[in-house]
Amino acid sequence: MSPLVSLFLLHIVTASATQLHPGYYLRTCPKAEAIVRDVMKKAFTRDPRSLASIMRFQFHDCFVNGCDASLLLDDTPTMLGEKLSLSNINSLRSYEVIDEAKAALEKACPGVVSCADVIIMASRDAVALTGGPDWQVKLGRLDSLTASQEASDDVMPSPTSNATFLIDLFGKFDLSVKDLVALSGSHSIGKARCFSIMSRLYNQSSTGRPDPAFEPKFREKLNKLCPLDVDQNVTVGLDASPVVFDNQYFKDLVSRKGFLNSDQTLYTFPQTRGLVKQFSIDQGVFFKAFVEGMLKMGDLKVDQPGEVRKNCRVVNSHLPNIVT
């Protein structure tokens, strides 16, 4: 075996052997969390929505083979990655903010902080910086060596999903009904495209009719923002206060002004309605449940080998300078 190959193999560790814990970088990169938060603050000044866009990465990364930054890999001639999957194409954005955080980390402590951990830190920061709770994250993840568009297509839920389907899906990840409802509260920040509600507005479940769960005036408003011939890339806030992380999202659901079908269904279906009501009344209870859900989602395991990528978009073996 050539020295180069054995050096490469040495760096491949089984991720499940790693124990996630707070303060993982205390000795190796003590400023890691401060560096990421600083980049997130700057991103907020440039484009407040980018924080929501980045927080969404945690969901789209962790649900697809665990939290391993597989989401961030660019396609290669031999690998179709996750960026162009059904849920991500023309939708996920602000990848450049992660690049910026990673570049700052590489400058401070080269080769130490994984991109998977950057996603976890940045998602927490997005919530904290928009008025939501702040919490301690567990760190020590590794980055995947590959990504799969198919794996993303197979698992990520459609905005037309109903509560029963979502309860089952989250259950497969050991996430409870409470986790589902709390984590859906992430839609307290950010925007969605008209594309994501066209069937709800004009042809719910192929009935040729709108979703009856809409509050009528709210639906009229959305009809104007998203007419049938609209450019479906036009975006609308996911709740009435899309830059502030608060429990407005749940108040909107109670008044039947939820945006996505997957949002409003949480109030329509009896299994989730009580939690929606509770979170709409008590923001503290929502925040606590949200943090618990984010921690559980951040624990989703990877059973494949990993590495600490130098560039979040490319595996190290594909970088021009493999030995540095």
Ligand X SMILES: *[C@@H]1O[C@H](CO)[C@@H](O)[C@H](O)[C@H]1NC(C)=O
Based on the shown chain and the rule CB under 6 A, indicate whether residue 91 belongs to the binding site for ligand HEM. Answer: yes
Q: How far is CA 122 from the centre of its chain?
A: 10
DSSP, res 307: E
CA dihedral of 312, 315, 319, 322, whole degrees rounded to 10: 120
CB 163 within 8 A of CB 266: yes
DSSP 158: P
DSSP single-letter state for residue 193:
E
Closest to ligand HEM by CB, 65 or 262 = 262
Lay out the site mask for ligand X across 230-269 (x = CB under 6 A, - = otherwise): -xxx------------------------------------
Tell which positions 146-175 bind ligand X, by CB under 6 A.
162, 164-165
**Binders of ligand HEM: how many residues, by CB under 6 A?**
27
Of 140 and 159, nearer to ligand HEM (C-beta) is 159
Our CB check for ligand X shows the closer of 205 and 255 to be: 205
Minimum CB–partner distance for residue 193 and ligand X (Å)? 7
Beta strands at 191-193 and 235-237: parallel, antiparallel or unpaired: antiparallel
Residue placing its CB nearer to ligand HEM in the complex, 195 or 269? 195
Residue 47 or 168 having the CB closest to ligand X = 168
**Window 191-210: contact mask with ligand X (x via CB under 6 A):** ----x-------x--x-x--
**DSSP letters of 82-144?**
STTSTTTTTT---HHHHHHHHHHHHHHSTTTS-HHHHHHHHHHHHHHHTTS---PPPB---EE
Least separation, in Å, of the C-beta of 60 and ligand X?
Answer: 18
Query: One symbol per residue from 157 to 196: x for binding ligand HEM (CB under 6 A), - otherwise; what is it?
Result: x-x-x----x----------------xx-xx-xxxxx-xx
Q: CA 52, CA 130: separation in Å to the nearest integer?
A: 9
Residue 141 contacts which entry, ligand X, ligand HEM, none (Cβ below 5-8 A, type-dependent): none
Mind giving me the DSSP string for 11-71? T-EEGGGSPPBTTTTTTT-TTHHHHHHHHHHHHHHH-THHHHHHHHHHHHHHTTTSSSSGG
> Taking Cα atoms as reference points, which of 119, 127, 112 lies closest to residue 24?
112
Phi, psi of 93 (to 5 degrees): -150, 175
x/- string (CB under 6 A) for ligand X, residues 41-80?
A: ----------------------------------------
Q: Hey, is 236 helix, strand or coil?
A: strand
Interface ranges with ligand X (CB under 6 A): 90, 162, 164-165, 195, 203, 206, 208, 231-233
Binding site for ligand HEM (CB under 6 A): 49, 52-53, 55-56, 58-59, 91, 93, 157, 159, 161, 166, 183-184, 186-187, 189-193, 195-196, 238, 260, 262
